[in-house]
């Protein structure tokens, strides 16, 4: 009699329940990444503030002063909100998550735990940078006379869209990078592209209405609409576009988790 032993890939729901069971490890890994990232730097946490501020000032000088793009609000608020959500949260989370499994390959070979914990911890750690930048953005908005009221709650769904999209793409890239090391070069290029295909430096109102909806296939477009509305309360919302961006973010999260599960079982062969 022959006995065949095969492994069955758990469902996405079962994997999520396992991640919840290992939530303490997720938090520990996120804390470790935050402490290691700034421990031996001269400026420490100031780097969290300097990166989006310098980028926003550069965009403001070029596009707000010289090109003079009309965005309906002070351009520094427009660009700073874009670099906070897209640059500090989405891009940082996606970039760190995409390369996280390779960076922690020694940990993976020593002990069992849900492998998705590693890229998700990188995304959670990026949330720290995001919160620091968000506080500074609210201070800048107040200096320009924008004191958000109840509309500030719009930041929550905007953040959720960005987190779902970055978690989906980040876990997928993390898994693919283990098998195909070419993704170490694909991820930085993709992040640069994201900055320009998202309405960080230009408003979508500059595009004709028939084509404008297509931009919301990028989940960060709908997220930025909500985010800027939460900060200023005066920017225009595009309900259909936001719905499309939200659906794409959820889809990316589910597909990214499924893609990671598919390659996870072969990690030992490629690390």
Which residues have a Cβ under 8 Å from the Cβ of 31 and sit 6 or more positions away? 125
CA distance 75 to 193: 21
How many Cβ atoms sit within 10 Å of the Cβ of residue 142?
A: 11
Tens digit of pLDDT for each residue in 190-231? 888 888 888 898 888 888 877 888 899 999 999 999 999 999
CA distance 71 to 22: 44
Q: Where are the domains of the chain?
A: 42-270
pLDDT at 21: 79
Q: Greater confidence, 270 or 63? A: 63
pLDDT at 95: 85
Tens digit of pLDDT for each residue in 138-190? 999 999 999 888 999 999 999 999 999 999 999 888 888 877 777 778 888 88
Which of 97, 86, 152 lies closest to 124, judged by CA? Answer: 97
Which residues have a Cβ under 8 Å from the Cβ of 205 and sit 6 or more positions away? 72, 212, 236
H helices present in 180-238, as ranges = 183-197, 209-212, 219-232
With b meaning 16 or more CB within 10 Å and e meaning fewer, what string describes 107-125? ebeeeeebbbbbbbbbbbb
Which residues have a Cβ under 8 Å from the Cβ of 242 and sit 6 or more positions away? 216, 222, 225, 226
Tens digit of pLDDT for each residue in 97-147? 888 877 777 777 777 777 888 888 888 888 888 998 999 999 999 999 998
CA distance 26 to 33: 11
> Does the pTM of the predicted model rise above 0.85?
yes
Confidence of residue 1 (pLDDT cuts 50, 70, 90): very low
Of 8-17, 101-110, 189-198, 242-251, highest mean pLDDT: 242-251
Q: Answer whether 201's CB lies under 8 Å from 82's CB.
A: yes
Confidence of residue 269 (pLDDT cuts 50, 70, 90): low
């Amino acid at each position: 009699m022959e006995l065949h032993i095969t492994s069955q890939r758990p469902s996405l729901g079962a994997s999520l329940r396992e991640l919840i069971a290992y939530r303490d490890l997720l938090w520990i890994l996120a804390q470790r990444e935050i402490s290691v990232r700034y421990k031996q730097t001269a400026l420490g946490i100031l780097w969290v503030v300097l990166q989006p501020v310098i980028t926003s000032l550069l965009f403001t000088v070029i596009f707000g002063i010289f090109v003079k793009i009309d965005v309906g609000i002070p351009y520094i608020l427009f660009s700073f909100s874009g670099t906070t959500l897209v640059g500090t949260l989405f891009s940082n989370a996606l970039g760190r998550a995409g390369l996280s499994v390779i960076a922690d390959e020694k940990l993976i070979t020593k002990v069992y735990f849900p492998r998705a914990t590693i890229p998700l911890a990188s995304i959670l750690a990026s949330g720290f940078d995001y919160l620091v930048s968000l506080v500074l953005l609210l201070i800048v908005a107040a200096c320009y006379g924008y004191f958000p009221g109840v509309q500030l709650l719009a930041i929550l769904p905007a953040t959720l869209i960005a987190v779902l999209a970055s978690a989906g793409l980040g876990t997928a890239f993390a898994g693919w990078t283990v098998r195909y090391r070419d993704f170490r070069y694909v991820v930085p290029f993709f992040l640069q592209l994201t900055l320009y295909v998202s309405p960080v430096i230009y408003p979508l109102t500059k595009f004709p209405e028939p084509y404008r909806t297509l931009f919301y296939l990028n989940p960060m477009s709908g997220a930025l609409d909500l985010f800027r509305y939460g900060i200023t309360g005066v920017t225009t919302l595009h309900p259909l576009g936001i719905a499309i961006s939200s659906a794409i973010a959820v889809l990316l999260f589910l597909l990214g988790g499924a893609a990671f599960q598919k390659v996870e079982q072969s990690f030992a062969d490629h690390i």
